[in-house]
Amino acid sequence: MDVKFLIFQAKDSKKIRRYQYTAIDDTTRIRALRIYKKHTQANAIDFVDYVIHKLPFEYNKYEHTGVTSSRQSFIGMLKTSEFSKCISSPDPHN
């Protein structure tokens, strides 16, 4: 899963910021994409829920790089979701 920051210019010259959430399956290269007005933990969880329910296969592994305290509750949510079968983490304390 990745988040890109998008900036558009409105007709009145104001900058509009949007956040593109993307998930790509490494095997099939199927991509899920959504754009949100805000970059929040709630939107990230909503996007994971969207991926779980819309893509046509089961998940047995979720990988992430690095863990900071700001990501702990998000990762905790993933551990209690359908991703909980096998979570691979570079952090041995997770």
| pLDDT tens per residue across span 35-73 | 999 999 889 888 988 888 877 766 555 555 555 555 566
The C-alpha atoms of residue 67 and residue 94 are separated, in whole angstroms, by 9
More confident residue, 61 or 27: 27
51 and 85 together in one domain:
no
Residue 33, token pair as written in the block = 């994409």
- Considering the domain architecture, whether residues 30 and 4 belong to the same structural domain is answered as yes
Residue 92 in this model has a pLDDT that exceeds 70: no
Of 42, 84, 77, the residue nearest 19 (C-alpha): 42
Give residue 20's pLDDT band: very low, low, confident or very high (50, 70, 90): very high
Is pTM, for the whole model, over 0.85? no
33 and 21 in contact (C-beta within 8 Å)?
Answer: yes
Residues in the chain: 94
Domain match, 42 and 2 both: yes
Are 2 and 46 part of one and the same domain?
Answer: yes
> Over 80: is that where the pLDDT of 16 sits?
yes
1, 35: one domain = yes
